[in-house]
Chains A and B, each alone.
Chain A
Amino acid sequence: MNNQPNNDLKSKLLADFRTSEERMNGASKSALHQIRREALNQFDRLGFPTVKHEEWKYTNVNSLIKEVFEFNASSELTVEDLAQLESSRLDGNVLYFVNGQYQPHLSKIVSPASQLTITTLAEAVKTTPDLLHQYFAKYADFQDNAFTALNTAFAQDGVVINVPANTTVEASTILRFVSDARHLNVASQPRNLFIVNTNAEIKIAESFRTLGDQASFTNVVTEIVVAEDARVEYYKIQNESDMAYHIGTTQVHQKDRSHFYSATVTLDGGFIRNNLNIALDGSECEAHMYGLYFPNGRQHIDNHTLVDHRKPNSHSNELYKGILEDRSTGVFNGKIFVREDAQKTNAYQSCKNVVLSNDATMNTKPQLEIFADDVKCSHGTTTGKLNEEALFYLRSRGIPKVEAQSLLMYAFAEDVIKKIKIDTLREQLERRIQAKLAR
Chain B
Amino acid sequence: MLTISNLQASIGSKEILKGINLEVKAGEIHAIMGPNGSGKSTLASVLAGREDYDVTDGSVLFEGKDLLDLAPEERAAEGIFLAFQYPVEIPGVSTTNFLKTAMNEIRKYRGLEPLDAVQFLKLMKEKMKLVNIDQSLLSRSLNEGFSGGEKKRNEVFQMAMLEPKLAILDETDSGLDIDALRIVAEGVNQLRSPERATIVVTHYQRLLDYIVPDYVHVLYKGRIVKSGPKELAFELEEKGYDWIKAEVETV
Q: A390-B88, A392-B51, A407-B101 are in contact. Are A398 and B106 (CB under 8 A)?
A: yes
CB distance from B107 to the nearest CB of A (A): 9
- Size of the chain A interface, CB-CB below 8 angstroms: 23
Once A411-B92, A412-B92 are accepted as A-B contacts, the answer to whether A394 and B98 lie under 8 Å apart by CB is: yes
- Across the interface, which residues of B come within 8 angstroms of A206, CB to CB? none
The answer to whether A399 has its CB under 8 Å from any CB of chain B is yes
Please state if A396 and B92 are interface contacts (CB–CB under 8 Å): no
Task: Judge whether A411 and B76 touch: CB under 8 Å.
Answer: no
Query: Is A213 in the interface zone, CB < 8 Å from B?
Result: no
Residues of A within 8 A of B98 (CB): 394, 397, 399, 407
Task: Decide if A370 is an interface residue (CB 8 Å cutoff).
Answer: no
Is A401 touching B88 in the complex (CB atoms < 8 A)?
no
B90–A398 touching, CB < 8 Å: no
Cα distance A110–B217 in the bound complex, in angstroms: 75
A396-B103 contact given A390-B88, A407-B98, A411-B93, CB 8 Å threshold: no
B92 engages A387 (CB within 8 Å): no
Q: How many contacts A-B (CB < 8 Å)?
A: 75
- Cβ of A395 and Cβ of B101 under 8 Å apart? no
Cβ 8 A contact of A411, one of B48, B77, B81, B90: B90
A397 to B99 Cα, complex, angstroms:
8
Residues 380-404 of A at the B interface (beta carbon under 8 Å): 387-390, 392-401, 403-404
Given contacts A401-B71, A403-B101, contact A396 B76 (CB under 8 A): yes
Check: A408 CB closer than 8 A to any chain B CB.
Answer: yes
A398 lies within 8 A of B105 (CB): yes
Q: Is the CB of A393 within 8 A of B84?
A: yes
Given contacts A392-B51, A411-B93, whether A398 and B87 have CB atoms under 8 Å apart is no
Measured between beta carbons, the chain B residues less than 8 angstroms from A399 are: 73, 98, 101-102, 105
What distance in Å separates the Cβ of A385 from its nearest Cβ neighbour in chain B? Answer: 14
A392 to B49, CA, bound (A): 8
Q: Which residue of A lies closest to B109 (CB)?
A: A398
Q: State the 8 A-B residue pairs at the shortest beta-carbon distance, nearest first.
A: A411-B92, A398-B76, A395-B72, A397-B102, A398-B106, A398-B102, A389-B88, A395-B73
Enumerate chain A interface residues (CB-CB to B < 8 A).
387-390, 392-401, 403-404, 407-408, 410-412, 414-415
Q: Please, could you name 19 A-B residue pairs with CB atoms under 8 Å apart, sorted by A?
A: A387-B88, A390-B93, A393-B84, A394-B98, A395-B76, A396-B72, A396-B73, A398-B76, A398-B103, A398-B105, A399-B101, A399-B105, A400-B73, A401-B71, A403-B101, A403-B105, A404-B73, A408-B90, A415-B92
